[in-house]
């Protein structure tokens, strides 16, 4: 199964959802997540692509694409900042 077929399966009969890519370092999680996000956005889905990766490899991938679909938003989550916010709140 190719990535196009995977994305077709992921969004079949779906209006919303959450897709997480997880695994050991260096196995392609960032590229897979970015490619899935772009393909979903091109299908018209509103997509938020986030990472906690301090190396921010998502930005490297995204910059290679040139123009992004208007339905794709890319953000980085800083785990240290979010942990501190949570600690202060609770």
d(CA 37, CA 46): 9
Q: What is the pTM of this model?
A: 0.81
Run of H or E including 66: none
d(CA 47, CA 37): 6
- How sure is the predictor about 87, in pLDDT bands with cuts at 50, 70 and 90? very high
Render pLDDT for 36-78 as a digit per residue (tens, 0 to 9).
Answer: 999 999 999 999 999 887 766 777 777 787 788 999 998 888 8
d(CA 45, CA 85): 30
């Amino acid at each position: 199964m190719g990535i196009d077929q995977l994305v077709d399966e992921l969004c079949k009969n779906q209006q919303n959802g959450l897709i997480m890519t997880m695994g050991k370092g260096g196995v392609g999680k960032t590229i897979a997540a970015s490619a899935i996000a772009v393909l979903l956005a091109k299908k018209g889905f509103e997509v938020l692509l986030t990472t906690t990766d301090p190396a921010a490899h998502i930005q490297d991938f995204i910059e290679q694409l040139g123009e992004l679909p208007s339905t794709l938003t890319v953000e980085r989550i800083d785990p240290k900042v979010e942990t501190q916010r949570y600690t202060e709140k609770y």
